[in-house]
Amino acid sequence: MHRILRTTPRRLASTLSGSSQNDYTHCVIGGGVVGLAVARQLAVRHPGTSTVLLERHEMVGTETSSRNSEVIHAGLYYPAGSLKTELCVRGAEMLYELCEKARIPFRRTGKLILAQTEPELETLNALYTHALDHSIPLRFLSAREVRAREPSVTARHGALESPRTGIIDSHALMQHLHGALEDAGGDVALRSPVTAVTPLASGYRIDVPGGSVTADVVVNAAGLGAVGIANMVLPPERQLTAYYCKGTYFGYSGRPLGVRTLLYPAPVKGHGGLGTHLTLDIAGRVRFGPDVEWVGGAEDLVPGVGRVKEAVKEIRRYLPGVREEELVPDYCGVRPKIVGPEGGGVGGVDFVVRVEEGREGWVNLLGIESPGLTSSLAIAERVERLLYG
């Protein structure tokens, strides 16, 4: 039974266009952290409108939003002027504020980005300059300072310390957003996979198995399914192709490493991710990953079991004490890419957050890979601004 069918359609006098006959003012497709943040923003900030969120699974947040590193990024890696930089910096600020206010578990762990070679040190220099330009605090540590701080860590050419980086309980965040959306009168329709969309004279009809809703505005926040949804309303010449890049995480079963901060290798251009790093979860558990494996579809959620050897090679550059037999493939996530391996490296492709030309009231959110969790609240703010000015 689809909850959507039990929802009484409401006809609203006050909508964006003034006198809409549609069931809802806003329809958000996708119940990941971004869709939840957008739906909550629209519902809370616009009393007198109505919002429905459609999610294909029986729970919200079971795809990429619960298969990531849960790191609150500081905004170091992405090009100046990009949405990734702008929304990550703003999103981190908003996220820390919300965590404190709503008691969402988080920790300001800080992070070290480690250089093992001269060229890697040059990469850190470039990150430092970028951070200065964006008022993101960063500090250089010498190899000796790193050793004093984290005795098991090697950084032959020193490290950059980012005090603004932290970790968050992403499930608690999504639970909070979900609650706030419903408290503001929003509807969440689970088990509602969108199968077709039809543009109307004013607004859109969105079909799910056994029913449909109409809405003045649609926000496509379908993550790995977003390109497919976008193509339902784009003309043939503007259709997009989705690419998928899997990242496997490895649990650690060796002696406690005593590491207190997040550890990242220097980023490599064209890598597709940020390198196989060490993160801690809220409980203090160490995990390594994600690695980079281009795959043919979003369904491939089996951790790459044959990939331990390669991961250990990367990890041992900064943690020489880690052994292959101490790593176990744990879980994986898939990065939603809009450009393939040739152009999908770190910061290579920006987030797409736009009202589609010729499709009034339709907002596409595409390629929302990392730092999408960090940026979620800022993406929601931007979507609201696109719609309401």
Ligand X SMILES: Cc1cc2nc3c(=O)[nH]c(=O)nc-3n(C[C@H](O)[C@H](O)[C@H](O)COP(=O)(O)OP(=O)(O)OC[C@H]3O[C@@H](n4cnc5c(N)ncnc54)[C@H](O)[C@@H]3O)c2cc1C
What does the alpha-carbon distance between residue 50 and residue 13 come to, in Å, rounded to a whole number?
11
Where does this chain touch ligand X (CB under 6 A) — which range of 51-59, 97-105, 128-136, 339-347? 51-59
CB-wise, 85 or 157, nearer to ligand X?
Answer: 85
CB-wise, 78 or 158, nearer to ligand X?
Answer: 78
CB-wise, 121 or 181, nearer to ligand X?
Answer: 181
CA nearest neighbour of 78 among 328, 293, 349, 324: 349
Q: How far is CA 142 from CA 63, 109, 124, 146, in A?
A: 39, 19, 12, 6
CB-wise, 119 or 284, nearer to ligand X?
Answer: 284
Closest distance between ligand X and the C-beta of residue 156, in Å?
Answer: 26
Contacts 24+ apart (CB under 8 A), 148-153: 149/112, 149/261, 150/112, 150/258, 150/259, 150/260, 150/261, 150/263, 151/258, 152/257, 152/258, 152/259, 152/319, 152/321, 153/112, 153/114, 153/259, 153/263, 153/318, 153/319
Residue selected from 25, 41, 53, 55 as contacting ligand X according to rule CB under 6 A: 55
Where does this chain touch ligand X (CB under 6 A) — which range of 78-86, 98-106, 133-141, 217-225? 217-225
Tokens of 185: 């009168």
Say which DSSP state 9 is in.
P
Closest distance between ligand X and the C-beta of residue 53, in Å?
Answer: 9
Residue selected from 63, 216, 293, 350 as contacting ligand X according to rule CB under 6 A: 63
Q: How far is CA 194 from CA 26, 27, 162, 205, 286, in A?
A: 15, 11, 41, 10, 37
**275 CB burial (10 A radius; 0-12, 13-18, 19+):** buried
CB-wise, 45 or 57, nearer to ligand X?
Answer: 57
Residue selected from 26, 40, 46, 73 as contacting ligand X according to rule CB under 6 A: 73
Residue selected from 94, 221, 280, 349 as contacting ligand X according to rule CB under 6 A: 221
Where does this chain touch ligand X (CB under 6 A) — which range of 70-78, 111-119, 261-269, 321-329? 70-78
What does the alpha-carbon distance between residue 381 and residue 270 come to, in Å, rounded to a whole number?
30
Residue 303 binding ligand X, by CB under 6 A = no
Residue 335 binding ligand X, by CB under 6 A = yes
Q: What are phi and psi of 106, to 5 degrees?
A: -155, 165
Q: How far is CA 101 from the centre of its chain?
A: 22
CB-based contacts of 237, cutoff 8 Å, min separation 6? none
Site string for ligand X, 197-216 (x = CB under 6 A): --------------------
CB-wise, 329 or 333, nearer to ligand X?
Answer: 333
Site for ligand X in 7-46 (CB under 6 A): 29-35
Site string for ligand X, 175-194 (x = CB under 6 A): ------------------xx
What does the alpha-carbon distance between residue 177 and residue 331 come to, in Å, rounded to a whole number?
24
Site for ligand X in 109-148 (CB under 6 A): none
Site for ligand X in 354-383 (CB under 6 A): 368-374
Binding residues for ligand X, rule: CB under 6 A, are: 29-35, 54-57, 62-65, 68-71, 73, 193-194, 221-225, 229, 247, 290, 333-335, 368-374
